[in-house]
Structure 1
C-alpha cells in the first residue's frame, strides 16, 4: 500500500506533462506576436513567466500530494517545465509499452487455453515477455528517479546555498559542542566540589577526632562514622564518574547501561528497548545521555510517579521517547535539555520537548544513522 501513492504520482506526472506541453504550445503561439513587437516584449515576458509559474505550481502540487515533498516556487520554471515535459512524455511511452505487453500476455493466455499455442512458442513468448517486462519496469523506475532529480535540481535551493547552509549548521553545531563540553566540565567540578570534596573534609575531621580521642569506645564510634563516610564518598564518586561516562556502556552495551539508569532512579522507570542491531558508538553514547539526563530531570523537577522510556531502532536511525506523568513545564532552554539538544544536533539529530503546564512531559529524540 505504501507504493500506491508514488505510483499514482508517477501516472499523474504523465498527465501533467501533457498539460504543460499544451500550455507551453498554446501560450507560446499566443504570445509570439507580442514577442515580435519590441514595445510589447516586457509585458509578454511577464505573461510568459506568470503562465510558467502556474504550470510549475501544478507540478509542485503533484510532488506535495503524492510524494510528501515541500518545495519553494521554481527559480526557473521554464527549464523545469521543458525537462518535465520530456520526462513525462517518455514515461507515457514506457507505460504504453507496458500496456501493449499486458495485451500480448492476454493473447498468449487465450491461445494457450484454446490449444493453438505450442510448447516452444509458449516458452519463447514467456522468455521474451519476461525480458521486456523487466526492461520496462527498470525504465519506469529510472524515470521516477529522474522526476525526483529534476525537482531537486530546479525547485530546491542552489547547490552553493545548500553548502552555505550546511557550513552554517556545522559551525553552529561545533560551537554548541564546545558549550556543552564546557557546561559538562563545570557540572562535574561542581559535583566534586559540593559533594565529594565536602564528604572528604568531613571524613578527615572524623579521623582527626578519632586520633585525638582518649576514650577507646568513643574512638571506635568515630572510626565507625569515618568508615560509613568513606563508603558514602565512594558511592558519590561512582555517581559522578557514571554521569561523566559509564564504563558499562563499553563493557556490556546500551541495554545494561540504560537498565542501570532505571535502577538508580528514584521514580519507577519502565524501559522498552527495541534495538535489533548495534548502534554506532556516537549514537549509542548520545542515546544513553539523553535517557540519563531526561530521567534525572524528571526525578528532580517533575513530581512524577512513573517514567516511560522507549528506545527504537528505525530504518532511518534511532528514536528515543522519555515520558513522565509529572507536572510538566520543562524548559527546553534550560541547561540540561539545551545541552542534550546540542549533543543531538552534533549528530544531525532533532530533540523536541512537549511539556505543557500540568503535564505530561514528553522528550523525543530522532538521530539518523546507517
Structure 2
C-alpha cells in the first residue's frame, strides 16, 4: 500500500517535469510554425517535424503512465493526436507539480510543529489546531493526487487510446486464442474421462466378469455372488464419479448452489461456502464457476494439504468466484488443471488469476461476465 502511494507520487513528480518540458516544446513549436505558415511546403515540413517530436514526448508519457499510474495505452496514434494531447497535458502536469509542492510544504510545516511540541514552545490549543489542519491538508493532498492521476489516465485514453482497427485486431486475436484453448480443453477432458474409464470402471468390469465366471463354475457360489454384488456397487460408484466429474446433473436440476454444496461434501477437507447470488446466472457461467470451484477444492485437498478451504460466490455486474485455502501453496498456473480452467474462463471473456506463493495461501479468482 505504501509503495503504491510512493509510486503515484513519483509518477506525479515526473509528470510535473515532463509538463514543463512539453510547455517549452509547444512554445518552441509555435515560434517555428508562425513564420513558416505562409509557405505551404515549409509549413508541411514544420508540421511534420513538430508532430514527430510530439510523438517522442507522448511515448515518454506512455512509459510514465504505465510504470507509475498503471495506465496502458496504444501506440498507433497519429502525430496530430500527440500534439493535441500535449496541448492539454502540460497544464495537468504543472497542476500535479503544484499539488506535490503543497504536500511537501505541509510536511515541512508538520515537522516544525512537531519540533515546537517537543521543545515546549506550543500550547495545547495550538497542538489541536495544528493536528486538525494537518489531517485536513493530508486529506486534500491525497485527493489531489488521486484527481491528477485520474485526469492523466483520462487524457491518455482519450488521445492515445487504441484505434478502432487495433481494438478489432486485439479482439480477433483473443477470440482465436480462446477458441484454440476451448478445443484443447475439450481434448484434455476427453483424455481424462478415457483414463478414468480405463483405470477405474474397466478394471472393475473385468473383476466382475471374473467373479461371475467363477460363480458359474463353483458348486457353492453364495460367497462369490456376494462379492460380485459388492463389486457392482463399487462399479456404480465409479460410474457416478466419472459422470459427476464430466458434468454434474445437479447443476442443471438444482442449480449452482446445490452443486457446490455437493462438492463441499465430497471434498475430503472442510469447505466454507459463502453463496451470495439472488438469482441463477446463465448456464455457461454456472458451468465455468462450478468447475473452477471443483478443481480448486480438489487441488487444495490433494496437493496443497489444506486444513480448510473458503469459497466465495458473489455478483455485481459480473460473477466473482474466489477460492482460498491455507495449504502449502506453490500451485503452478501453467499446470494442466489450472491452465484448463483459465482457458475455460477466457472462452467466456472472463478473467482468471492464481496467487500461490510457496508456503501459501493459495487464492484463485475467476471473474465471469453475466450479460
Q: Report if the CA contact (8 A) 2:274-2:311 is conserved.
A: yes
Q: Give the paired residue count.
A: 291
Structure number with higher relative contact order (C-alpha < 8 Å, ≥ 6 residues apart)? 2
Whole-angstrom distance in 1 between the partners of 2:61 and 2:170 = 28
Deviation at 1:172, TM superposition (A): 1.2
Summarize the Cα distance change of 1:327–1:48 in structure 2 as closer, same or farther, 3 Å threshold.
closer
Residue 226 of structure 2 is aligned with which of 221, 224, 227? 224
Structure 2 residue aligned with 1:213: 218
Q: 1:178-217, aligned counterparts within 5 Å?
A: 178-215=183-220
Q: Give the direction of change, closer, same or farther, for the CA distance of 1:52–1:344 in structure 2 (3 Å limit).
A: closer
Corresponding position: 1:46 with 2:49: yes
What is the alpha-carbon distance in structure 2 between the residues aligned to residue 329 and residue 281 of structure 1?
A: 32
SS of the equivalent of 1:169 reads helix
Q: State the SS of the aligned residue for 1:302.
A: coil
Contact 1:328 1:355 in 2 (8 A): yes
CA contact (8 A) 1:355 1:362 kept: yes
- TM-aligned CA deviation for residue 195 of structure 1: 0.3
Name the residue aligned to 2:175: 170
1:292 corresponding residue in structure 2: 294
User: Mapping of 1:71-110 within 5 angstroms?
Assistant: 71-72=73-74, 75-79=77-81
Aligned match of 2:336: 335
The answer to whether the 8 A contact 2:325-2:362 is kept is yes
> Structure 2-normalised TM-score?
0.67
Cα distance in 1 for residues equivalent to 2:55 and 2:301: 59
Q: Which runs of 5+ in 2 are unaligned?
A: 1-21, 89-152
Which segment is superposed worse, 203-212 or 179-188?
203-212
- In structure 2, the CA distance between the partners of 1:276 and 1:268, relative to structure 1 (3 Å rule), is same
**Shift in alpha-carbon separation, 1:278–1:83, aligned structure 2, 3 A:** same
Q: Is the 8 A contact 1:56 1:74 kept in 2?
A: no
TM-score normalised by L of structure 1: 0.67
CA distance in structure 1 between the aligned counterparts of 2:357 and 2:281, rounded to whole angstroms = 32
Q: Deviations over 1:88-128 (max 9, x none)?
A: xxxxxxxxxxxxxxxxxxxxxxxxxxxxxxxxxxxxxxxxx
Distance in structure 1 (CA, Å) of the matches to 2:234 and 2:252: 26
C-alpha distance in structure 2 between counterparts of 1:222 and 1:59, whole Å: 77
What is residue 9 of structure 2 aligned with on the other side? none
Work out whether 1:236 is the aligned partner of 2:238: yes
Structure-1 separation of matches of 2:345 and 2:209? 42
| Structure 1 residue 84: Cα displacement | 9.9
Kept in 1, the 8 Å contact 2:77–2:163? The answer is no
Instruction: Summarize deviations over 1:58-89 as a string: whole Å, max 9, x none.
Output: 899899999x7532467235346659989xxx
**Structure 1's 59 and 287: CA in aligned 2 closer, same or farther, altered over 3 A?**
closer
- In structure 2, distance between residues paired with 1:190 and 1:55: 56
After TM superposition, the structure 1 = structure 2 runs for residues 1-370 of structure 1, keeping only pairs within 5 Å, are 27-34=29-36, 42=45, 45-47=48-50, 49-50=52-53, 54=57, 69-72=71-74, 75-79=77-81, 154-215=159-220, 219-315=221-317, 317-370=318-371
Higher mean displacement: 180-189 or 156-165: 156-165
Pick the structure with greater CA Rg: 1
Structure 1's unaligned 5+ residue stretches are 1-19, 87-146
Give the secondary structure class of the aligned counterpart of 2:77.
coil
